[in-house]
Amino acid sequence: MTGIRNLDSWIRRMREDVAGLEVPQDLQARFGKYVDDPTGFVRHVLGVRPERYQEQVLRASAEHPRVAWRAAHGVGKTAVLSWVLLWWLLTRP
């Protein structure tokens, strides 16, 4: 039972800490223009030039809530996923 009480206490503290956070105002100014443009975000913010097939996945991510992509090993699936995550988190603070 001690572990559960400690977990409950930790969760309470985390909620209090998160409630006190404020979104920096410059995030909207800096990344807001890319809210519907993950390809532009990847090119201009991250400085990466994605391959054509990666751009298709990026565009699909902006247009659809769920995207599935099947591809061989080593084509950049994990890279695209990380780009999409960064794009989503930074354009929707």
> According to the model, what pLDDT value does residue 1 have?
57
Q: Is residue 4 part of a domain?
A: no
Range 32-35, long-range pairs (CB < 8 A, 24+ positions): 32/91, 34/87, 34/90, 34/91, 35/91, 35/92
pTM of the model: 0.72
Which tokens is 62 given? 């902006």
> According to the model, what pLDDT value does residue 22 have?
72
Q: How many domains are contained in the chain?
A: 1
Q: Is residue 53 part of a domain?
A: yes
Within 10 A of 67 (CB to CB), how many other CB atoms are there? Answer: 16
* 47: containing domain: 24-91
Q: Is residue 18 part of a domain?
A: no
Q: What is the pLDDT of residues 39-90, one digit of tens each?
A: 999 999 999 999 999 999 999 999 999 999 898 999 999 999 999 999 999 9
Q: 3-state class of 35 per DSSP? A: coil
Q: Is residue 73 part of a domain?
A: yes
Rounded-to-10 torsion of CA 23, 28, 30, 34: 130
Residue type, 49: R
* Residue range 11-39: mean pLDDT, rounded: 84
